[in-house]
Amino acid sequence: ASIDKGLYAHYMLKEIYEQPAVIAETLEGRIHKGRLLEASFGHETTALLDKARHIQIVACGTSYHAGMVARYWMEEFGIPCSVEVASEYRYRKVVVPEGSLLITISQSGETADTLAALRGSRANGYIGSLTVCNVPESSLVRESDVCFMTRAGTEIGVASTKAFTTQLVALRLLAIALARRKELSTAQEEAMVNELHALPRQIEVVLQLADAIKTMAEGFVDKHNALFLGRGAFYPVALEGALKLKEISYIHAEAYPAGELKHGPLALVDESMPVVCALPDDPLLEKVLSNLQEVRARGGELFLFSDHKVNVGLDHYQNLTLSDIYPGTAPIVYSIPLQLLAYHVAVLKGTDVDQPRNLAKSVTVE
């Protein structure tokens, strides 16, 4: 991939706009006519998936958030899955259920904690290790039993964007493969594969909301805090949205599973607290709407991203609608406007978007 930012003002913006192409690239050769092409994973990988009874995901930062989304996907198909940040996992005594497969997720393949977790896992009785990684010659790729490459190309912006969404695509493919070993029907598989196939086009449409998101961003420039809410697989999407905002705009942002609002963060909500929420048309919608009602009752300003079928029905809010999003891949699509929101807030604040203070692209020492 080219590492020239071309006409884009920042690498991060370029990388956000590259997502339709790199997602298509990550799917290339791995699906065909509504089916997953498992042969493309390699024999060793499919043999490991055959044996896997439990998945343990270990990662850091944005890659950890991708792992959290994957857990919702895997458990939906009856595949037990645990997720932990590498810096905790590596130092505690862990109980590894029989038939566990270790999956590390990393853009760089060089994150010290993730690498240490992999190395430390060898004595723990795993059936093997798989890394979802973006850098072919990296340490994690060399030291894992098998790898599943994301094909995001070089990512320069410290705040990860295209690496994250390609990780989600890779994890969704792995979830389909594991689900095949459970109760997945051909029709279900076709539906899941077609949803993935539709992603580049859907993301192109979402990218056209950029100007509206820029306007939304103005509501954050003079704020010191922001709250991101989500439920189900959109809770990790909220975590990732909050992480993006704090990394590059230096606004303190916190993400909460919306149902936990009443157990603490509601105390912080007043007119000076912008609240961001993804409102997909899913079974938890009514619950989320009632959580948002609580926010409105305390004067919190709402910034929503909703499905066009959703009737928000609150008294005051800014809303951007996304159309024709499929439930299985919605966490991927909804991540895009949150990346753009963080980007535009940072640009308005004049921070160093690609090289935020105190942060490194790859944390290779502890």
Q: Which of 10, 31, 56, 61 binds ligand G6P (CB under 6 A)?
A: 61
For residues 322 and 342, which CB has a smaller minimum distance to ligand G6P in the complex?
Answer: 342
For residues 134 and 291, which CB has a smaller minimum distance to ligand G6P in the complex?
Answer: 134
Q: Which of 26, 82, 108, 166 binds ligand G6P (CB under 6 A)?
A: 108
Q: Which of 56, 111, 306, 329 binds ligand G6P (CB under 6 A)?
A: 111
Do 239 and 278 meet the contact criterion of CB atoms below 8 Å apart? no
Do 173 and 197 meet the contact criterion of CB atoms below 8 Å apart? no
246 backbone dihedrals φ, ψ, rounded to 5°: -70, -40
Size of the site for ligand G6P (CB under 6 A): 16
Do 304 and 291 meet the contact criterion of CB atoms below 8 Å apart? no
Q: Which of 181, 197, 214, 361 binds ligand G6P (CB under 6 A)?
A: 361
For residues 111 and 335, which CB has a smaller minimum distance to ligand G6P in the complex?
Answer: 111
Can you tell me which residue has the tokens 């079928």? Answer: 309
Mark the segment that binds ligand G6P (CB under 6 A) among 57-65, 181-189, 276-284, 312-320. Answer: 57-65
3-state secondary structure 284-307: CHHHHHHHHHHHHHCCCEEEEEEE
* Number of Cβ atoms within 10 Å of the Cβ of 309: 12
Interaction with ligand G6P in 63-82: which residues (CB under 6 A)?
63
Residue 34 Cα distances to 6, 23, 42, 96, angstroms: 36, 17, 19, 35
Long-range contacts made by residues 17-21, C-beta under 8 angstroms, separation at least 24?
Answer: 17/207, 18/152, 18/153, 18/162, 19/161, 19/162, 19/165, 19/166, 19/200, 19/203, 19/207, 19/336, 20/199, 20/200, 20/201, 20/203, 20/204, 20/207, 21/200
Structure tokens at 129: 């290790």
Site string for ligand G6P, 136-175 (x = CB under 6 A): ----------------------xxx---------------
Greatest alpha-carbon span in the chain: 57
DSSP three-state, residue 226: strand
Q: How far apart are the first and last CA of the chain?
A: 29
Interaction with ligand G6P in 296-315: which residues (CB under 6 A)?
none
CB of 156 to ligand G6P, least distance (A): 11
- Does the footprint of ligand G6P cover residue 60 (CB under 6 A)? yes
For residues 297 and 359, which CB has a smaller minimum distance to ligand G6P in the complex?
Answer: 359
Q: Which of 62, 100, 165, 329 binds ligand G6P (CB under 6 A)?
A: 62
- Does the footprint of ligand G6P cover residue 121 (CB under 6 A)? no
- Please tell me the distance from the alpha carbon of residue 185 to that of residue 175, in angstroms, as a whole number: 14
Give me Rg for the CA atoms of the chain.
Answer: 20
CB of 236 to ligand G6P, least distance (A): 13
Q: Is 361 a catalytic residue?
A: yes
- Does the footprint of ligand G6P cover residue 114 (CB under 6 A)? yes
**Orientation of helix 186-207 relative to helix 19-27, angle to 10°:** 160
Mark the segment that binds ligand G6P (CB under 6 A) among 54-62, 74-82, 284-292, 312-320. Answer: 54-62
- Does the footprint of ligand G6P cover residue 112 (CB under 6 A)? no
CB of 109 to ligand G6P, least distance (A): 7
- Ordered alpha helix ranges (H), 128-223: 139-143, 162-180, 186-207, 210-217
Structure tokens at 159: 């705040």
For residues 86 and 176, which CB has a smaller minimum distance to ligand G6P in the complex?
Answer: 86
- Does the footprint of ligand G6P cover residue 339 (CB under 6 A)? no
Mark the segment that binds ligand G6P (CB under 6 A) among 105-113, 182-190, 200-208, 230-238. Answer: 105-113
For ligand G6P, the nearest residue by Cβ is: 61
Q: Which of 5, 223, 287, 361 is catalytic?
A: 361
Do 135 and 111 meet the contact criterion of CB atoms below 8 Å apart? no
Active-site residue list? 361
| Chain residues in the site for ligand G6P (CB under 6 A) | 60-63, 106-108, 111, 114, 158-160, 359, 361-363
